[in-house]
Structure 1
């Protein structure tokens, strides 16, 4: 293979890997599974006991039909009755033990996943730029941290308990139905396919409705948070009735959306139940004739109906669980939507820095702003740094500038007060110095170093800020 062909093959492989990465990044289900795999030992334990519990459940119809009815009752072999009773009791005890251990491992895994996801979301929110919070309501963000993450908890429990357990039961029951009577099972398969089409048909509608409900809940929480934050202003302007009406309107929209979800779920359940009824009637009509003619034993019919229930119950549950899954995936989408937002910009790489004029090294230079350590024992206090604004232009909106070609030089140790009317740009200048925002044009330098070349934590740790309004966090004075 020549160089060009090798390069093309490598490009195709890289493109394929990139497509896989992009899919995994956009797919909330894949990302949740990646979180679950962090506790793989707990997940493995839960899966093993879940499989054990499902297999034990499949043993009950076989014991009841073929051992109890066809052997003990039909053949009047009461000597086998203690064996049947011992098997049923053993299956019951083993089921309860495996069920307990499965729930225990699943709960540990789920809570660790939710804890990690919630902390990751919280930490990522702290890294987002200030401009993001200028355009988002705090109540809506709180709804994502609390409500949406809790809905993800429901999703994990549903997947591990409902889907995994029912899927194992479904596959085992299908195999046993074919083992009892393959011809009769072929009559039942069309109803199972109908259920699958029903799940696929309703999935999109359920997900759109769930996203709409979560969005309305976020707006309602935002309205409540705004009122609680500005309760003094609300009381000062006697706006209690206005705020109550505003909250009531949002709550009414949530009620309407949830009623639509219930209507959709009721229609969904009716279609599923109709498919289940059709399959059951087919088996009763066909198998009863075979049992009367002696082709099918009564024990085999009872066992077959038991396994048929083991098929339809999981399929019915899985089809209805689809509603819960779609709602939970919408919540996961909203969580990962925030986690995918880019954090505050990091310092430019060395290769991206603007070329500067090289200067000869000075033998005895003062430490730069980045090198200065205020908490070091030998560093003089209050040494300060040179701050320069060069033709800085900035606006919170493109058509509304707060600063226009603002220029300022502050020497080390110099005290400068910015005085002006409200909205003149005083707070904006400090916000730009802290890199809460980036100027539209111009640049800001400290000791000749552009702000964008400095690590954010280093920059902000070296600047003391006394806010205009004091904000106290919950906790002790030392915590604040």
Structure 2
């Protein structure tokens, strides 16, 4: 073993095991699940699938007929009777049959590959679309890397099954069944002797399958962990370099890489046991054929043509057996992958839309929290039966220490989560009764760490309203003050911002998010620490823009920088999921309560600076 890997085995303390979601599932081979997987073939059951099956049957029939023609016709009739005319005719027939076999194989391979690629496309599209509609709780419990593995790696692992495996399985079963029948027709004694090895092979394969399947499950888990860390490392590369942790991060990656290497090595080693066993069975079958077949010829029980036919079939017999052995491994891999894929497909959104949900086409923006309690888990309650009313068009602010429940309130308004107890209503309608699309299309959220997609400035601003014209995009950018810096870029609004908007400063990304929110024309606007990444000068520039942005809309502002919420109609001060006090800025300052202390401490910090 290489020294580097050996060292890693001894230094297990380098590894951090915080991935708890992806666990190996020990279950019997689930044929119901396999039938469900094969159900993705249904859309092609009248096109590519029957064509591939017919082409397969043609090529299989040719392979089965040729040994009979050679053994029973060429040897026992043409050669034995010195009939050259029959022999020439037979040669022509065999040549035509092999041409037919070539045509059959060509179309089988072509149609099977088209079929397989379409199924993989449908399966990946189905999984991605389903994940898009899952609730935030789903993503809270899973890393991005583990989700990527299932959409990419696990589905890719099914490609061989759908492009070759299924048709090959059918072809091999038909071939084996037909050959066994033919062998028993020509010589039951020799057929029994040659096929005696099959029960032994079946017994050993069934003993190994559970162990092999668990090994391939472990491979998927290790790949998921490796991808998760890789995704995390790339996104956090600046922090890693800032703290000079490149070496430690590389050591940890090497530990995960070793685990992936080791799990794949073990799974491959176990899977590799099948083919040598098939080759050994082939050798035993050949010995039986030569010894017992010669005995039968000498005793006049079979003729030479039958022996030659058996020899041809024996050479053909173990090829599908070998492929079936590999096919079984392929099925085990597909089962391990499909378990993980269907786990996601069977995941139900925690936030469910009722079948009789009602539209909310003309939202006014009046919000009510009625004794709402919420917890992200069983250990800690985030909100304690809070009640608050926000009038349509009103601007309210939520302030408090980290973890006080401010962002939770914003998440409940967008219905990313449902309250554990109580009701959240907009315009008097419980959000559980409202269509999600109607709700979220009329709410815009601007976060502190805004997300910029790969693409142009124009495309990013237009994201919330794809049908907006270029002039509307430009006007929205001008209103929030983004047009100035966009005009300085090389290609203006057509500038490619790259992944996560890396070519832009934090303040510039935030201005784009303001423009995006304005263009979407929401009835409710949530600003979650939206000005935290903007310098004081830029903040002053967009205050007027914010007034335009907030005009006529219900706005919820979450801010630690209290200077940004002075003009709010109502300020709610939260602590440990409870509302301590509320009122306007002047009213709360007069009360000299928690809000007063927050303002006082913030001014003291500014004076100290």
Secondary structure in 2 matching 1:418: strand
Query: In the alignment, which residue of structure 2 is the partner of 1:318?
Result: 324
Of the three residues 409, 423, 433, the one matched with 1:453 is 433
Superposition deviation, residue 201 in structure 1: 1.7
Secondary structure in 2 matching 1:465: strand
Residues 366, 428 of structure 2: 8 Å contact kept: yes
Superposition deviation, residue 260 in structure 1: 1.4
Q: How far apart, CA to CA, are the structure 2 residues paired with 1:31 and 1:152?
A: 13
1:3-402 equivalent positions in 2, closer than 5 A? 27-41=32-46, 42-348=48-354, 370-372=360-362, 384-402=364-382
Residues 194, 275 of structure 1: 8 Å contact kept: no
Superposition deviation, residue 345 in structure 1: 3.2
Residues 278, 318 of structure 2: 8 Å contact kept: no
Q: How far apart, CA to CA, are the structure 1 residues paired with 2:189 and 2:149?
A: 53
Higher relative contact order by CA 8 Å / sep ≥ 6: 1 or 2? Answer: 1
- Range that drifts further, 159-168 or 23-32: 23-32
Secondary structure in 1 matching 2:424: strand
Q: How far apart, CA to CA, are the structure 1 residues paired with 2:53 and 2:359?
A: 56
Note if 1:409 corresponds to 2:383.
Answer: no
Q: How far apart, CA to CA, are the structure 1 residues paired with 2:436 and 2:355?
A: 14
Q: How far apart, CA to CA, are the structure 2 residues paired with 1:26 and 1:403?
A: 45
Superposition deviation, residue 348 in structure 1: 4.5
Specify whether residues 369 and 305 from structure 1 end up closer, same or farther in structure 2 by C-alpha distance, changes over 3 A only.
closer
C-alpha distance after superposition, 1:12-32 (max 9, x if no partner): xxxxxxxxxxx9998321112
Specify whether residues 24 and 272 from structure 1 end up closer, same or farther in structure 2 by C-alpha distance, changes over 3 A only.
closer
TM-score (norm 1): 0.85
Specify whether residues 250 and 29 from structure 1 end up closer, same or farther in structure 2 by C-alpha distance, changes over 3 A only.
same
**How many corresponding residue pairs?**
432
Specify whether residues 44 and 241 from structure 1 end up closer, same or farther in structure 2 by C-alpha distance, changes over 3 A only.
same
C-alpha distance after superposition, 1:414-434 (max 9, x if no partner): 111222333332221111111
Residues 53, 95 of structure 1: 8 Å contact kept: yes
Secondary structure in 2 matching 1:438: coil
- Range that drifts further, 252-261 or 384-393: 384-393
Q: How far apart, CA to CA, are the structure 2 residues paired with 1:126 and 1:415?
A: 31
Of the three residues 417, 420, 441, the one matched with 1:440 is 420
Instruction: Give 5+ residue unaligned stretches, structure 2.
Output: 1-27, 464-609
Q: How far apart, CA to CA, are the structure 2 residues paired with 1:277 and 1:24?
A: 31
Query: In the alignment, which residue of structure 1 is the partner of 2:408?
Result: 428
Specify whether residues 34 and 131 from structure 1 end up closer, same or farther in structure 2 by C-alpha distance, changes over 3 A only.
same
Superposition deviation, residue 412 in structure 1: 1.3
Residues 139, 224 of structure 1: 8 Å contact kept: yes
Q: How far apart, CA to CA, are the structure 1 residues paired with 2:268 and 2:100?
A: 38
Superposition deviation, residue 369 in structure 1: 9.0
Instruction: Give 5+ residue unaligned stretches, structure 1.
Output: 1-22, 354-367, 374-383
Note if 1:469 corresponds to 2:449.
Answer: yes
Superposition deviation, residue 388 in structure 1: 1.2
Query: In the alignment, which residue of structure 1 is the partner of 2:591?
Result: none
- Range that drifts further, 192-201 or 204-213: 192-201
Is the helix fraction higher in 1 or 2?
1
C-alpha distance after superposition, 1:257-314 (max 9, x if no partner): 1221233133333333333322222221111122234433222211111112222221
TM-score (norm 2): 0.67
C-alpha distance after superposition, 1:238-260 (max 9, x if no partner): 12112211111111111111221
Secondary structure in 1 matching 2:214: helix
Superposition deviation, residue 107 in structure 1: 1.5
Superposition deviation, residue 347 in structure 1: 4.0
Q: How far apart, CA to CA, are the structure 1 residues paired with 2:109 and 2:123?
A: 21
Query: In the alignment, which residue of structure 2 is the partner of 1:478?
Result: 459
- Range that drifts further, 141-150 or 65-74: 65-74
C-alpha distance after superposition, 1:349-400 (max 9, x if no partner): 67xx9xxxxxxxxxxxxxx992416xxxxxxxxxx32111123222323323
Secondary structure in 1 matching 2:371: strand
Secondary structure in 2 matching 1:136: coil
Q: How far apart, CA to CA, are the structure 1 residues paired with 2:89 and 2:323?
A: 33
Residues 112, 164 of structure 2: 8 Å contact kept: no
Q: How far apart, CA to CA, are the structure 2 residues paired with 1:226 and 1:136?
A: 12
Q: How far apart, CA to CA, are the structure 1 residues paired with 2:286 and 2:70?
A: 19
Q: How far apart, CA to CA, are the structure 2 residues paired with 1:282 and 1:178?
A: 16
- Range that drifts further, 319-328 or 389-398: 389-398
Secondary structure in 2 matching 1:397: coil
Secondary structure in 1 matching 2:234: helix
Residues 158, 325 of structure 1: 8 Å contact kept: no
Q: How far apart, CA to CA, are the structure 2 residues paired with 1:53 and 1:26?
A: 29
Residues 79, 87 of structure 2: 8 Å contact kept: no
C-alpha distance after superposition, 1:201-243 (max 9, x if no partner): 2211111111111111111111101111211111111121122
Residues 155, 329 of structure 1: 8 Å contact kept: no
Specify whether residues 347 and 369 from structure 1 end up closer, same or farther in structure 2 by C-alpha distance, changes over 3 A only.
closer
Note the aligned Cα RMSD (angstroms): 2.3
